Amino acid sequence: MTETTTTLKLTDNSKVKFKSGHYNTFGLLHGRPENGGTCPGSTSGAGGCLSLKRVGGVNATCYVDKLVKAYPNFGKVLQRNTELLRGKTQAEMEVVLTETVAAFVKHNKGNNLYFRLHTSGDFFSEDYARAWAATILKYPNVQFWTYTRSLWAIPLLMDCPNLSIYISSDPVNYAEAKAVYDICHLGHPNVGICYMGNIGTQPAGERWVVCPEVSGKLKNDSSQGACAKCRLCMTYNDKIRLRNIQFPVH
């Protein structure tokens, strides 16, 4: 899929695609803002999403680090997408996001309209989250889904009925994440909570469904990723709220 100078470069991710050549996601730079990333809610410490190891004099970050090292062009795409948004006004970002989703819809001829935000990176500012909320509401026929540790972004996005938004938790931020979830999911079946941590470490008192892709029960193949077959993270309606999902660390 070709991008223009005003659209994010979309990627064909093996897990989230619904068909070959779907191009239904994008990434931003990973890691803490002070290290150039877009993840202000990233967590460090035992079980957090950041490694405490220092690499090349810089605090290292999540699994995306490995991908960037293995595929330097992937890192360039994250950089380009981030530069297209960071430092821009809310209105300017809304133009970029709107044109990006329009290109996605056109590329797929109105079919398989499932769009995953942030296979790398996160909501880095309130203006950026608001720009996404405005964009998502313009495309009611597209089902968007995402996971975020930017807890302040949930109230800014939860009124988009076609956005499935997971509060991303782990042993470091669970108490804080759960407190936001307890308030925000009421009346919002599109707000869910997920937990990154191995079997046996998940918080008690909640029922968790283990992501079948991570557990190996569902495989990605060349025509479809596991998310297209599973769809748990985007299944909700007025009667059924999003299930709690557990992602064992792998």
Q: Which of 1, 60, 95, 232 binds ligand SF4 (CB under 6 A)?
A: 232
What CA–CA distances, in Å, run from 19 to 141, 192, 223, 224? Answer: 18, 25, 5, 5
For the bound state, the minimum distance from the C-beta of residue 235 to ligand SF4, rounded and expressed in Å, comes to 8
CB atoms within 10 A of CB 20: 10
Fill in the DSSP letter of residue 130: H
Whichever of 75 and 197 has its CB closer to ligand SF4, that residue is 197
Residues 6 or more apart whose Cβ sits within 8 Å of residue 50: 31, 32, 42, 43, 44, 59, 60, 61, 62
Between 15 and 130, CB nearer to ligand SF4: 15
The answer to whether the beta carbons of residues 173 and 49 sit under 8 Å apart is: no
Q: Which is nearer to ligand SF4, 28 or 194 (CB)?
A: 194
| Binding residues for ligand SF4, total number by CB under 6 A | 11
Q: Does 165 bind ligand SF4 (CB under 6 A)?
A: no
Neighbours of 138 (CB within 10 A): 12
Pick the closest to residue 124 from 157, 155, 85, 91 (CA basis).
85
Burial of 210 (0-12, 13-18, 19+ CB in 10 A): middle
Smallest separation, CB 230 to ligand SF4 (Å): 3
Taking CB under 6 A as the rule, which mask of x and - marks residues 190-229 in contact with ligand SF4?
Answer: ---------------------xxx----x-------xx--
DSSP secondary structure letter of residue 234 = G
The least distance separating ligand SF4 from the CB of residue 95, rounded to whole angstroms, comes to: 30
- Does position 233 interact with ligand SF4 (CB under 6 A)? The reply is yes
In the complex, the smallest distance separating the C-beta of residue 93 from ligand SF4, rounded to whole angstroms, is 26
Q: Does 230 bind ligand SF4 (CB under 6 A)?
A: yes
Residue selected from 74, 231, 241, 248 as contacting ligand SF4 according to rule CB under 6 A: 231
Taking the least distance from each CB to ligand SF4, the nearer of 85 and 142 is 142
Rounded to a whole number of angstroms, the minimum distance from the CB of residue 165 to ligand SF4 is 13
* Contact yes or no for 166/146 (Cβ under 8 A): yes
Question: Is residue 87 left, alpha or beta, with left meaning phi > 0 and alpha meaning psi from -120 to 50?
Answer: left
Q: Which is nearer to ligand SF4, 64 or 211 (CB)?
A: 211
Residue 155 binds to ligand SF4 (criterion: CB under 6 A): no
Binding region for ligand SF4 (CB under 6 A): 211-213, 218, 226-227, 230-233, 245
